[in-house]
Amino acid sequence: DAGITQSPRYKITETGRQVTLMCHQTWSHSYMFWYRQDLGHGLRLIYYSAAADITDKGEVPDGYVVSRSKTENFPLTLESATRSQTSVYFCASSDPTNTEAFFGQGTRLTVV
Amino acid sequence: AQRVTQPEKLLSVFKGAPVELKCNYSYSGSPELFWYVQYSRQRLQLLLRHISRESIKGFTADLNKGETSFHLKKPFAQEEDSAMYYCALYSSSASKIIFGSGTRLSIRP
């Protein structure tokens, strides 16, 4: 299917475990982003990528790792999950000629 | 620093009343500003962007560089406008999109 998809949609994990959230887009957009959505904080940028093999930290990168070996994939890894990382995570992509961001459906992550 | 501020977490108005969602930004250079909307159980999606100067679903937003604002307005609110609204800024220098904290708009019947 065309578009941007995230997996899993829901995830419960234990404190200290490593967990990876997947993001895949079919448009070949060069820009990709990871945000977390928390009540009172809105959407905060975790990491972003301007192209394959190029990533940069956003506002709240601590505890997260990203990679972008292929243009279409931008996985987000929580190296050792903490309860403060319980959130809804959104992946987005955009093209520099358009700049509109297209969002995935979100992943609701609960760390217990 | 690049920043987007939405001072209202929640805005509740009656159906048919005017709506104004406030957004202020901080950006050195010419900003590219957007409003995104998230309806219940739907993806976040673009509502409008300042460069297109169009009205979408009755909403308009004017960029005021003097006041560094990009407020979203609608003259007559509808119940289907109830949603979460985010103001966003595209930073061309950093190739990233920065969002405000969002305003939840609730339209009362």
Contact B100 A42 (CB under 8 A): yes
* A31 in contact with chain B, both atoms CB, cutoff 8 A: yes
Nearest-neighbour CA in chain A from B34: distance (Å): 8
E-strand ranges in B39-91 read: 45-49, 60-61, 72-74, 83-91
Contact B90 A103 (CB under 8 A): no
Per the structure block, which two tokens stand in for A43? 């959407």
pLDDT at B69: 95
pLDDT at A2: 67
Of the candidates B35, B26, B34, B37, which has an alpha carbon nearest to the alpha carbon of residue B4? B26
| Residue B61, amino acid | A
Q: What is the pLDDT of residues B51-87, one digit of tens each?
A: 887 888 999 998 998 999 999 999 999 999 999 999 9
Contact B101 A104 (CB under 8 A): no
Please give the DSSP secondary-structure letter assigned to residue A30: S
Question: Are residues B37 and B91 in contact, defined by beta-carbon separation less than 8 angstroms?
Answer: no
- CB within 8 Å of chain A, chain B residues 13-72: 32, 34, 36, 43-46, 49
Q: What is the pLDDT of residues B20-37, one digit of tens each?
A: 999 999 988 788 999 999
Band (A40; pLDDT cuts 50, 70, 90): confident
In chain B, what are the helix, strand and coil shares in percent, each to the nearest 5?
5, 50, 45
